[in-house]
Amino acid sequence: MGMTRAQKARKYGVAAGSAPTGSTGTRGATARPPSVHEMRAGELAAEPTKNSSAGILVGAAFFVGVALWLYYHLLVLQGVTGNLAHGVTAPELLVGGFAPEHVAQVAGALGPDGRTEYSGVHATTGLFTPLLTGLGWLLFTGLNTPQRARRWVYWVVVLAHAVVFLAGNAALDAAVAHPADQGAAALASGLVVARWLLLAGLLLIAVLVSVSVVRRKVDDFARGRLPGQRPRD
C-alpha cells in the first residue's frame, strides 16, 4: 500500500510531499519536432548548401587573382618604367617581345641599385601574382567544369602560365644583369611573349567556363531544377 502525501512529507520532507503525482513522467517526456509532412507549405525553408559557400570562396579567390594581376601590371611595372628605368618601358609590358638593345637600355637606365630593386619586384609582387592568379583560375575552372578531360586541359594552361611567368622573371633578371648576353635577352623576350599568349588563353578559359555556367543555369531553370522551383515533366 502506497504512502499518502502527508506521510511522504513527514518521511522525505515538504518538497517530496508537495510534488504532484505523475510529474516524473511529464518531466521525462520530450517534445517531438514536427516532421516535414506535418509542416505547412510556407514553413519549409532551404538551408545554405556547401556548394554556395564554396562558390563564394572560389569567386573571392578568382577576383583577388585578377586584382593582383592588374595591380602588378598597371601600377608596379609602370612604377618600374617611370621611377627606376627613367622612362624606358619595363620589358614585361612589351607584348610583342623586345630586342637585346632594349634590354641594354633598361639595364643602363636602372643602374646597379635599380637592378637590385627590379629583381626585388620579381621576388615579391612578381612571385605572388602568378601564384594567386593561377590559384583563382584553378579553383574557378575546377568548381564550374564537370567534364574531367576539359577541366584538365584548362588546368594545364593555367599551370603553364604560372611556370612561364616565373621563368620569365628569372630570365629577365639574368638578361638585365648581363646586358651583353644576347641569348639571355632572346630567351627573356620569348618567355614574355609566351606569357601574354597564355594570358589570352586564361581569358578564353574564363569566358568559356562562364558561358557554360550560364547555359547550365538556363537549362536548369527551364526544367524547373533550380532551388524553389517545382520539377517540370
Average pLDDT over residues 119-141: 96
* Nearest-angstrom CA–CA distance, 131 and 122: 12
Within a domain: 8: no
Which pLDDT does position 193 carry in this prediction?
Answer: 98
Based on the number of CB atoms within 10 Å of its own CB, is 182 exposed (0-12), middle (13-18) or buried (19 or more)?
middle
Within a domain: 6: no
How distant, in Å, are the alpha carbons of 85, 95, 102, 106, 171 from that of 182?
20, 19, 11, 14, 12
Q: What amino acid occupies position 200?
A: A
Within a domain: 202: yes
How distant, in Å, are the alpha carbons of 83, 93, 150 from that of 59?
34, 27, 20
Average pLDDT over residues 42-69: 75
Within a domain: 165: yes
Within a domain: 41: no
- What tens digit of pLDDT does each residue of 148-203 get? 999 999 999 999 999 999 999 999 999 999 999 999 999 999 999 999 999 999 99
Question: Which DSSP letter does residue 226 get?
Answer: S
Least confident of 22-26, 130-134, 193-197: 22-26
56-64 contacts at long range (C-beta below 8 A, 24 or more positions apart): 57/139, 58/136, 58/139, 58/140, 58/143, 59/140, 61/132, 61/135, 61/136, 61/139, 61/140, 62/136, 62/137, 62/139, 62/140, 63/136, 64/132, 64/136
- Beta-carbon-side half-sphere exposure of residue 33 (alpha carbons within 13 Å): 2
Q: What amino acid occupies position 119?
A: S
Domain, as residue range, for 154: 52-222
Within a domain: 230: no
Average pLDDT over residues 51-55: 76
Within a domain: 67: yes
Within a domain: 187: yes
- What tens digit of pLDDT does each residue of 58-115 get? 989 999 999 999 999 999 999 999 999 999 999 999 999 999 999 999 999 999 999 9
Overall domain count for the chain: 1
